Structure 1
Amino acid sequence: MPLARRLGLADAVFIGLGSMIGAGVFAAFAPAARAAGSGLLPALAVAALVAYCNATSSARLAALYPESGGTYVYGRARLGEFWGYIAGWGFVAGKTASCAAMTLTVVAYAAPGLGQPWRSLLAVGVIGVVTGVNYLGVHRSALATRVIVCITLVVLTLVAVFGFSGAHVSPWTPFHGGGVLEAAGLLFFAFAGYARLATLGEEVRDPARTIPRAIPLALGLTLVVYAVVAAVLLVTLGPDGIGASSDPLASAVPWLSPVIRVGAVVAALGSLLALVLGVSRTTLAMARDGHLPRFLAAVHPRFSVPHRAELTVGVVVAVLATTTDLRGVIGFSSFAVLAYYAVANASALTLRRDEGAAPKAVAAGGLAGCAVLAFSLPAASVISGCLVLGLGAVAYLVRRRGVVR
């Protein structure tokens, strides 16, 4: 049973914004500043450039293959079943971990002094509510994302206005050139939400026109927001102050801290909403092809959503959020997402002119950029990412060998 096509251009752009302007804007700048010092803005530019190449490749492919699954579908069609599977595996594994991280972010900001077992119960409640919203239908999820994005943007606007009008410090410190790429890899994590648009290809009206327009619009708006926030932090705290703060935006405008805390919770919820949406759609596509259990491929007859995939993702995220410390998983998720986009760019390199191919330099630059940023991340993130992708590859080969026999 096909999914219902309910999303227009505005809905798609807001889903992209909800995926990218999330908890990352409240947390990503501190570790990035520690890595790059006054090179924070160059690192942001590098991350945006790689994201632009990825977005262009994804948009061209999404127009040609308007199906749920994103790069999982593109990799299978252009490079072969194995590479599509690796992309899908990396997306599901990395973004499921990100869902748990977002859940814990909501709990940390909403109830910072809460102890166990109440923290775990709150985490389960948060993912339960988000899963329920998605279960009722993607259109309601899109409406909720629109509201969340508007609230987050209002909070960030207040930070920008009062931050620029307040006391300033020198934004310059020693330039940590060697850390710019590491910082770019961390900041890229915040740009990665446009993949959610590609995974919704089966639910967008006129996908061949809507998706290629929605991806660059959402990415461009996100870049403007991140650049303004980075500038505010640099002139109010300086690179050292950003790196030393666990909550840079609140430190930049201390008297606005309660509002910023609410904004962080709302933003994390927006990211979680869109992440669960995207992971469940890729799970649906992989289940349809037998790479995951086929019972996950069911579509609800009333709500037209992959309800079993959504419930399964919700349960796994709840388990992770209540049993695992996921602070280190951010790096792993970044590595997995960069691997996912590397497959997208490699797929785009195979497009012909009559298939809407972008200049080869764009896809080649995106592929090279993904590789460089992925292996510039901390060693622990690279090792864990390689291990998880390797386990996925072994599972594929074992299954393939069984099918051949």
Structure 2
Amino acid sequence: MTTSPPTTTDTSTSEDLPQGVLPLWAVFGVSLGILAPASTLALAIGVIMQQVGALSWVTWAVTSLLVLGFAGGIAWLARRFTTTGGIYGLTTRAAGRGPGYFVMFAHLASSLVSGPACVLGAAIYLDAWLRKLGVPYNPWILASCSAVVAIAVTALSLREVKLSAKLLLLIEFLTIIVIVILFVVILVRVPGGPVDGRQFDFSGFSMAAILATAGFSVFSMAGFDHAVTLGREARNPKRAISLAVVGSVSACGLLYLAGTYVIVLGFRDVPMDGIDAPLDVLATHYDVGWLAHLINPGVAISFFGSTLGIMAGTSRTVYTMARDGMLPKALSGVDPVHRTPRTAVLTLGAIYLIVSVLGALLARATTTYSLLGTFAGYMLVASYGATVLAAGWYAMRTRSVGFGIGISVLLAAFGSGLIYWKSFNPFPEGNRFWVAIIFFVAVVGIVGSWAWLKRNRPTVAAQVGESDRRTDADVDEAEGVETSA
């Protein structure tokens, strides 16, 4: 294999996505923007704290380690293959069509739920901001906020992805600055000082309780993999995507550990029950309520950015699946002006709108957010775990096993098994019972549909991942890579 100087020539047609238009910062922006650290600090950490208590930081330590294992395996594959289908494309190239099919639909199921959950998160903080301005609470106002966010995300996603990447980076940077100011205030003003012995008291420690929330916490750290779908649009994609995947997860893991400590510290003498916007409460309690006027819209915009990134990645996955014949061909339509997957975006926008509005009207918004996130987390553990195991299989088959991919496979296999065991033993009750049932039905449905497809539609089954093989060839040609037989 020889390499000639790279070129940025766009060899795509008007019916395809543009090639080589996104620099490294834009790819990193998509990955970081979907992770949306500001939104996790504002809402997800509070949800975990109400379930786990003072040792919530342990949940994030365990989750960060597991997700970093997932990210390492995915990045390892992304350095070898390019794709517009995301991790399903990587899995297909590494381990074949069967595993690729499973990852394809498991990840799609997760993304279809994650998008509306983030729309709802944005609506929760928009509503909190409106209440600060004197608007009384009304579920129809919350539902209207959800509708506005879903429509705005859809409209912006119809334009070029580079614009989305710029917005994602700017949104996160500004919002995190405001949240960090609040954290500094808490550390300075908290009664008893900044050292919190409760968070290091393991006398009542329960790993079962920690792992029982791991599905939701994985959802809160997920989305970094959507950068993988930019395999055609990124410059030097094999380097840019792998750096974005591992870098964004590492940075957010450290931020969540520190943020969890400060938030738990801040609530040392404040009851947590029934709180929808914990940062809002902390700002008021520590006499900096004016910060809430910045935090609430900032976090809402952060959730908006996360939804925008999920839409960017999921629409490209749907586009690729439609090209492969796994979904209706109409979903592969591309906007002739902006060269974005228009039909997929419009379809996803309708799903985001309906699910988020119903979620705001039929239950407490934070409860809906938690349930959607838990289901998404279960599906993400399945899809991420299968992708990393596929990477391990490919490494053994090609005799390219190294320390990094070995550690990633061990973390993915052991961590996934432990999370599922503790999540379903004992089996969840109440609303989470139905979340677990839907998860198992979805997994059985995916496996069963693949068996049926192979037997009754073998020509369709043979198309899984085929468009990604063409994408990889196009990228190698554009970068001047010659491949010998």
Which 10-residue stretch deviates more, 47-56 or 201-210? 201-210
2:336 to 279, 290, 301: 301
Name the CA distance, whole Å, in 2 between partners of 1:243 and 1:33.
10
Q: C-alpha offsets along residues 288-319 of structure 1, whole Å, 9 cap, x if unaligned?
A: 21111122122223212111111111112112
Kindly indicate whether residue 48 of structure 2 is the aligned counterpart of residue 32 of structure 1: yes
Q: Which residue pairs with 2:375 in the alignment?
A: 332
Kindly indicate whether residue 422 of structure 2 is the aligned counterpart of residue 376 of structure 1: yes
Aligned in 2, Cα 1:375/1:312: closer, same or farther, shift over 3 Å? farther
2:384 to 325, 341, 344: 341
Aligned in 2, Cα 1:396/1:37: closer, same or farther, shift over 3 Å? same
Q: Which residue pairs with 1:201 in the alignment?
A: 231
Whichever residue aligns with residue 44 of structure 1, its letter is W
Q: Which residue pairs with 1:105 in the alignment?
A: 121
1:284 to 300, 312, 319: 319
Q: Is the 1:47–1:188 contact (alpha carbons within 8 Å) kept by the matching residues of 2?
A: yes
Q: Is the 1:171–1:237 contact (alpha carbons within 8 Å) kept by the matching residues of 2?
A: no
Q: Which residue pairs with 1:18 in the alignment?
A: 33
Q: Report the CA distance between 1:121 and its aligned residue.
A: 4.1
Q: Is the 1:68–1:281 contact (alpha carbons within 8 Å) kept by the matching residues of 2?
A: yes
Name the CA distance, whole Å, in 1 between partners of 2:168 and 2:405.
33
Whichever residue aligns with residue 104 of structure 1, its letter is L
Aligned in 2, Cα 1:115/1:271: closer, same or farther, shift over 3 Å? same
Which 10-residue stretch deviates more, 143-152 or 269-278? 143-152
2:168 to 140, 145, 153: 145
Q: Is the 1:32–1:187 contact (alpha carbons within 8 Å) kept by the matching residues of 2?
A: yes
> In the TM superposition, what are the counterparts of 1:6-405 in structure 2 within 5 Å?
6-20=21-35, 21-112=37-128, 113=136, 115=138, 117=140, 119-168=142-191, 170-172=196-198, 174-238=204-268, 241=271, 245-254=275-284, 255=289, 256-324=291-359, 325=362, 326-327=368-369, 328-352=371-395, 358-377=404-423, 379=428, 380=433, 381-404=435-458
Name the CA distance, whole Å, in 2 between partners of 1:249 and 1:140.
29
Q: C-alpha offsets along residues 207-250 of structure 1, whole Å, 9 cap, x if unaligned?
A: 11111212222112212321221121122213985576433222
Q: Report the CA distance between 1:78 and its aligned residue.
A: 2.4
Q: Report the CA distance between 1:193 and its aligned residue.
A: 2.1
Q: Is the 2:69–2:407 contact (alpha carbons within 8 Å) kept by the matching residues of 1?
A: no
Name the CA distance, whole Å, in 1 between partners of 2:273 and 2:357.
28
Q: C-alpha offsets along residues 348-396 of structure 1, whole Å, 9 cap, x if unaligned?
A: 1123366685342321221221232244336323322111232333333
Unaligned runs of 5+ in 2: 1-14, 129-135, 363-367, 460-485
Name the CA distance, whole Å, in 1 between partners of 2:331 and 2:38.
28
Moved over 4 A (4+): 116-119, 239-244, 353-357
Name the CA distance, whole Å, in 2 between partners of 1:30 and 1:142.
27
Name the CA distance, whole Å, in 1 between partners of 2:272 and 2:49.
6
Aligned in 2, Cα 1:156/1:65: closer, same or farther, shift over 3 Å? same
Q: Is the 2:153–2:308 contact (alpha carbons within 8 Å) kept by the matching residues of 1?
A: yes
Name the CA distance, whole Å, in 2 between partners of 1:201 and 1:367.
26
Which 10-residue stretch deviates more, 201-210 or 238-247? 238-247
Q: C-alpha offsets along residues 310-365 of structure 1, whole Å, 9 cap, x if unaligned?
A: 11111121121223453422211110111110111111112336668534232122
1:69 partner SS: coil
- How does the TM-score come out when normalised to structure 1? 0.92
Name the CA distance, whole Å, in 2 between partners of 1:199 and 1:367.
24
Name the CA distance, whole Å, in 2 between partners of 1:226 and 1:245.
19
Aligned in 2, Cα 1:262/1:118: closer, same or farther, shift over 3 Å? closer
- How does the TM-score come out when normalised to structure 2? 0.77
Q: Is the 1:163–1:232 contact (alpha carbons within 8 Å) kept by the matching residues of 2?
A: yes
Whichever residue aligns with residue 19 of structure 1, its letter is I
Name the CA distance, whole Å, in 2 between partners of 1:22 and 1:85.
33
Name the CA distance, whole Å, in 2 between partners of 1:235 and 1:125.
35
Q: Is the 1:103–1:269 contact (alpha carbons within 8 Å) kept by the matching residues of 2?
A: yes
Whichever residue aligns with residue 7 of structure 1, its letter is L
% identical equivalent positions: 21
Pairwise CA RMSD of aligned residues? 2.4
Q: Report the CA distance between 1:27 and its aligned residue.
A: 1.6
Name the CA distance, whole Å, in 2 between partners of 1:233 and 1:22.
13
Which 10-residue stretch deviates more, 72-81 or 200-209? 72-81
State how many pairs are aligned.
405
Work out which of the two has the higher radius of gyration on C-alpha atoms and give 1 or 2. 2
